[in-house]
Structure formats: C-alpha cells, structure tokens
A = this chain, B = another copy of it.
Amino acid sequence: MSDTPQQAGIELGLHASIVSVHRNEPHVVCVTAPDDPKGRDSLPFGIFTPLAHRTLEIGLRNWVEEQTGLSLGYVEQLYTFGDRGRHAREGDRGPHMVSIGYLALTLQTDIAKKHVRQRRWYDFFPWEDWRHGRPQIIETLIEPLLLEWCEQTLDSTAREHPLGRTERIRFLFGLNGSIWDEEKVLDRYELLYEAGLLEEAAIDGRTAAKAWDVLPELGRPMNHDHRRILATAMSRMRGKLKYRPLVFELLPPIFTLYELQKVVEAISGSPLHKQNFRRLVEGGGFVEATGEMKKSTGGRPAKLFTFRRAALVERPSPNRHVSAPKST
C-alpha cells in the first residue's frame, strides 16, 4: 500500500464489541497490543480484505477468531464511523481509516490468550450503572464539570445541536427531574467527549489549550474510537432488549428466571421489579419450564427454564393492527 498523499486510499476497519455476562456483570472482550507500554485496551479489530473475506461479517469473524480464539455466534452490525481527526493515528498520512463497528454476543468463556481479557462495561462507563441507584459520580463530578464547560465556551460552535447545551446536559444525564434514558449511552459519551472531559478527546486534540486534567474517574479509556464503538453497542443492546429476546445469547441453555433477570439488569443498567419481570417473560411465551428445579438458590428452589426458539416468530414489533379501522 503506497503512502503517497495523492493516493490516500481507504482502509475499512472491522471492530467487534464482544459482550458476555458473568457474575451479573456485563463484559467486553479487549485486547492489548504486546508492545504498548500503557497496555491500553482495544477492541478486537482487523482490516477488511475483500480478497480474503467474502463478506464484511466473515472478515470480522475471522479477525476475531485469529486474535482471541473466539468463534462468534450472534453478530450484528452497528455503525460505520468515518470522522477524520478522531482516532487519527500518529503520522496521519497513509490510508484513511473508516471503522465498522459490530456487536457480538457470547456466553462467558475463559479466554486462554495472552493480551486478551474481558473487562467490565461499567469500568468504561461508570455513570451508566444505575442498578443500585443513581451513580454518585454524576452529581459529584459530571454535572459540575459539564456545567462549567457550558459557561466556558458559550455558543462558540454551539449551534450544531438542536438543543441548547444546558438542556442537552439535563436531558441526557437526567438532571433536574429529567428522566434517565438508559438507551442514550452513545449520546452521553459524545457529550463528555465534546466537553473534552475524556482522555480520548485530549488525544484527538479536542481539549485545545483548555487543559483541565482528564479525570480517571470518568471511565477507563480505550484506543482510538473504540470506546465510542462500545458505547454504540451498549445503546443498541439496551434498545433492542426491549423488543427482541437478545439476552438468551448470553445465558446458558438452562436458567432460572432470576438469573435471566440479573442478566437483563446487567445490560440495561437498571433494577427491575421481580414479580413483574416474571409475568412479562412467562406471559410472553419466551421461555418454557424444563420441569427441573435448581436447589442452590439460597432460598426456595427455583424452576429451571429454557428459551423457546419459536418465540422469535411469534413476536412482532408492538403496535400491530391487523384489520383496517372501520371508523371514518
């Protein structure tokens, strides 16, 4: 591949957010470059080579298998990122990189590879875990920092977004009685990035001269724009969870309803009402009792269940109307 500026070609990077849940914590598979002194995390990733890979997804699977030894099951494309300036590599000459992000779901597996490990979601996004109430960090750090940023740069380049900055902050972080929308993981990440509060932003040169030190409390950084891709994956999962039985990809074939609930809570980042959750799941026909019981629950034994594959067919998106309404 030539480096001459006039022939700046394109490289398509394939990035995987491989998600699994163990001990009630959602994880993502990370790799670290052997020669990286800081050992910063990356998502498994490789360049799409049309000669070697018949489709993008096959390319992704191959790369992931090569780098992590994992053979992926459920895979879904997320988004294609092409901004220059973000995740610019050192020289910034050479081919331009466009990244396609993917979401992959897998059961927990022990990964027996060096430089490959699973990391907890909420290490990267501490403000996203509301399972035990609103995270402290929002009030103590995020809110004041964001509001400060608001005043500093008053509408210099403000008019990019339809909402005013303060409004946007309130809205996204559930301030002043605004409600928390768990799906907006990406939007919140982008807001923090824009505000220059994340290490990635500093690296990309967004933080300009205005160098407040980047705080380690604002989550573990990743290489390039990988944390953004993970945020996209989380947003997608939290959204899709509500109308598609995604979770079953993350569970062993047999499980109790409580285990199921804990996985859903882990992903969505918010606590659920136990009785109502069972009602929903059982009533929706997603699961089928095996007849067996699990004894080691700590209390009364729990029925064991299996996922009903048939539910995939029966579940349409909500709000269906079969016959046309008659009224004029």
Contact = CB atoms under 8 A, between A and B. Distances in A.
A81 B147 CA distance: 41
Contact of A163 (B12, B80, B167, B312): B312
* 10 smallest beta-carbon distances between A and B, as pairs: A50-B96, A56-B82, A273-B325, A181-B316, A271-B324, A80-B80, A171-B313, A55-B83, A179-B320, A9-B9
A79 B82 contact: no
Contacts of A274: 325, 327-328
A138 B318 CA distance: 23
Nearest to A81: B56
Contacts of A82: 12, 48, 50, 55-56
Interface residues of A, number: 54
B84 A100 contact: no
Interface of A: 5, 8-12, 48, 50-51, 54-56, 77, 79-80, 82-85, 96, 98, 100, 133, 162-163, 167, 171, 179-181, 183, 239, 242, 270-276, 309, 312-313, 316-322, 324-325, 327-328
B12 A317 contact: no
Given A239-B317, A270-B321, 6 more contacts: A8-B50, A9-B10, A181-B316, A181-B317, A271-B324, A274-B325
A83 B55 CA distance: 5
Contact of A12 (B51, B98, B272): B98
B100 A80 contact: yes
A284 B320 CA distance: 19
Contact of A179 (B84, B322, B324): B322
Nearest to A181: B316
B77 A325 contact: no
B324 A163 contact: no
Contacts of A80: 56, 77, 80, 100
A84 B322 contact: no
Nearest to A80: B80
A74 B68 CA distance: 39
Contacts of A270: 321, 324
Contact of A79 (B77, B133, B179, B273): B77
A162 B316 CA distance: 16
Contact of A56 (B9, B98, B276): B98
Name the residue in A98, A100, A272 with the highest tally of chain B Cβ atoms < 10 Å from its Cβ: A98
Nearest to A51: B8
Given A80-B56, A321-B270, A324-B133, A316 B179 contact: yes
